[in-house]
C-alpha cells in the first residue's frame, strides 16, 4: 500500500484538485493522510468532506508548526510500505503511483524511484521539467553518485519520488528548516547510500503549481536555509571529499552573496564555530571567482 502524505496550510483554493488527483490514480491501494498545519481558512472543512466520501482519506489537525513537522506527524500514522509526498496545492498524474510501485516491486535494490514533473502557472500553462541532466535520465544511481549531483542543487521536487517506507528514519524532516527541507532529506538519503532510479512514464508525472502560496515561491525564505543544509553535508561522516569541497564552495558563494545583499547568515547549531571559520577561509579564497561571476551576470542583464 502507498501512504500519501499531504501537509496543508490555508490551501482551500487548491486542496480539492490535489485530492481529486489521488482519486484518479489507476493504482487504488493507497491511504491519504492530510495534516492540517493550523489552517485558518476552509482547508479543514474540505479535507473532512473527502474523508466522508472515501475512508482512505484521513484527517489530522495540529497547531501551526511548519511543513516539516506536519510531514513528521504523518509518519506516526502511516500504514503503507511505500511513501508519496504530495503538497496540498500540487497534483500527481493518474499513472504515477502504479508505474512507480510496479518498478519498486520488480527492482528490490532500488529504494527511491523518481518521476519527471510538470510546472503549471496561474495561467494554466504547462511546462515539463527535468530535474536531472539528459545523461542522467533513466539511470539507476547509488548514493555516492546522487550526493555528488544533489550537492549542486535540489533537482528532485518533493512530489516526484515514491520511496520505500523503510528508507526513512525518524525524524524524517529536520523541523528547524522552514524551507528546502526536501533537499536536506534527499541529500541525507543519498549520503546513507540510498539507491535512486529515474523512471519516465507517460501520464505518470508530478504536477507542481508555480504561483500558489507554497514556500517554493518564497526565494528569500529558501536561500537563508541553503548554508545550514550545506553545513550538514560538509560534516556528514559518509560524505566524499569532492562532496565536502563543493558543499564548502557553494556555501562560501552564498555567504558572499548574502553579505553583498546585506542579509543575515544562518548556521546550523552543530559544528557552528568550525564551519564559520571554514566560511571565512572559503569566502576569502573564492572572492575573486564570486566577483567575476557577479560581473558576468551584470553584463548579461
> Is the full-model pTM beyond 0.85?
yes
Handedness of CA 80, 35, 217, 276 (dihedral sign): negative
More confident residue, 216 or 270: 270
Q: Is 83's pLDDT higher than 90?
A: yes
127-141 average pLDDT score = 56
- Average pLDDT, whole number, for the chain? 89
Q: How far apart are CA 146 and CA 132, in angstroms?
A: 10
Per-residue confidence (pLDDT) for residue 22, from 0 to 100: 98
Taking alpha carbons only, the member of 134, 131, 173, 175 closest to residue 154 is 131
Taking alpha carbons only, the member of 179, 183, 143, 206 closest to residue 67 is 179
118 membership: H or E segment, kind and range? strand 117-120
How does 201-239 read in b/e, with b if 16+ C-beta sit within 10 Å? beebbbbbbeebebbbeeeeebbbbbbbbbbbbbebeeb
Lowest mean pLDDT among 120-134, 162-176, 229-243: 120-134
Find out whether 75 and 172 touch, Cβ atoms under 8 Å. Answer: yes
The pLDDT tens digits for 51-61 are 999 999 999 99
Taking alpha carbons only, the member of 87, 82, 117, 121 closest to residue 17 is 87
Domain limits of the chain?
A: 2-216, 219-300
What is 2-216's CATH number, 3.40.50.2020, 3.90.550.10, 2.60.120.590, 3.90.650.10? 3.90.550.10
Per-residue confidence (pLDDT) for residue 133, from 0 to 100: 47
Find out whether 154 and 183 touch, Cβ atoms under 8 Å. Answer: yes
Give the cell for residue 196: 535512486
Amino acid at each position: 500500500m502507498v501512504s500519501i502524505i499531504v501537509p496543508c496550510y490555508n490551501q482551500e483554493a487548491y486542496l480539492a484538485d490535489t485530492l481529486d488527483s489521488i482519486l484518479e490514480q489507476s493504482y487504488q491501494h493507497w491511504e491519504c493522510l492530510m495534516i492540517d498545519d493550523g489552517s485558518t481558512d476552509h482547508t479543514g472543512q474540505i479535507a473532512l468532506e473527502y474523508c466522508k466520501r472515501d475512508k482512505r482519506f484521513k484527517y489530522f489537525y495540529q497547531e501551526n508548526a511548519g511543513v516539516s513537522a506536519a510531514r513528521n506527524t504523518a509518519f506516526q500514522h502511516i500504514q503503507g510500505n511505500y511513501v508519496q509526498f504530495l503538497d496540498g496545492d500540487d497534483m500527481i498524474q493518474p499513472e504515477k503511483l502504479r508505474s512507480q510501485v510496479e518498478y519498486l516491486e520488480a527492482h528490490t535494490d532500488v529504494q527511491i524511484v523518481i518521476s519527471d514533473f510538470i510546472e503549471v502557472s496561474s495561467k494554466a500553462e504547462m511546462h515539463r521539467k527535468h530535474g536531472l541532466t539528459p545523461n542522467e535520465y533513466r539511470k539507476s544511481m547509488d548514493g555516492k553518485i546522487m550526493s555528488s549531483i544533489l550537492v549542486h542543487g535540489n533537482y528532485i521536487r518533493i512530489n516526484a519520488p515514491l520511496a520505500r517506507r523503510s528508507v526513512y528514519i525518524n525524524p524524517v524532516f529536520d523541523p528547524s528548516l522552514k524551507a528546502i527541507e526536501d533537499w536536506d532529506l534527499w541529500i541525507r538519503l543519498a549520503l546513507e547510500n540510498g539507491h535512486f532510479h529515474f523512471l519516465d512514464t507517460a501520464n505518470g508525472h508530478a504536477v507542481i503549481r508555480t504561483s500558489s502560496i507554497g514556500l517554493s515561491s518564497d526565494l528569500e525564505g529558501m536561500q537563508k536555509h541553503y548554508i545550514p543544509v550545506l553545513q550538514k553535508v560538509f560534516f556528514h561522516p559518509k560524505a566524499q571529499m569532492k562532496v565536502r569541497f563543493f558543499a564548502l564552495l557553494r556555501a562560501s558563494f552564498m555567504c558572499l552573496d548574502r553579505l553583498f545583499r546585506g542579509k543575515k547568515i544562518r548556521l546550523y547549531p552543530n559544528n557552528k564555530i568550525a564551519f564559520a571559520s571554514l566560511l571565512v577561509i572559503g569566502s576569502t579564497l573564492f572572492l575573486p571567482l564570486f566577483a567575476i561571476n557577479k560581473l558576468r551576470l551584470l553584463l548579461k542583464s
